Amino acid sequence: MEAAAATIETVRVGDSGTIALPPRYRKRLKLTKGSRVLVFPLGKGVMVVPADPTIDGLTERIQDALAAKGVSVHRALKGLEKTRRRIFQQLYGEG
């Protein structure tokens, strides 16, 4: 998203936990009904980004490589949240 075009909007969480993205964001990101997005925690918030088939394939390859070495995904990801927090704080300050 271009910094100049970035704006903050408020949306409501529905009964089932759904969040409707404003139409201009769906259009900009080419999201249509059924589009897949990735949702993950970031600091005290949540980041939503369009799913990318290339990343899905890469993730599978990483998991296969870890399994071949006898390393669980859990073990590989251990400490990732702490590292992510540290990098976020370095880039953006306390969050």
> For residue 40, what are the β-bridge partners?
47
Beta-sheet strands, E only, within 1-95: 37-42, 45-50
Q: Is the pLDDT assigned to residue 94 strictly greater than 80?
A: no
Q: Please indicate whether residue 43 or residue 94 has the higher confidence score (pLDDT).
A: 43
pLDDT tens digits for range 13-67: 999 999 999 999 999 999 999 999 989 888 889 999 899 888 888 888 999 998 9
Measured CA to CA, the distance from residue 63 to residue 30 in angstroms comes to: 29
Domain boundaries, the chain: 3-92
Of 85 and 6, the structure prediction assigns the larger pLDDT to 85
**In 10 A of CB 62, how many CB atoms?**
12
Q: How confident is the model at residue 1 (pLDDT cuts 50, 70, 90)?
A: very low
CATH code, 3-92? 2.10.260.10
pLDDT at 8 over 90: no
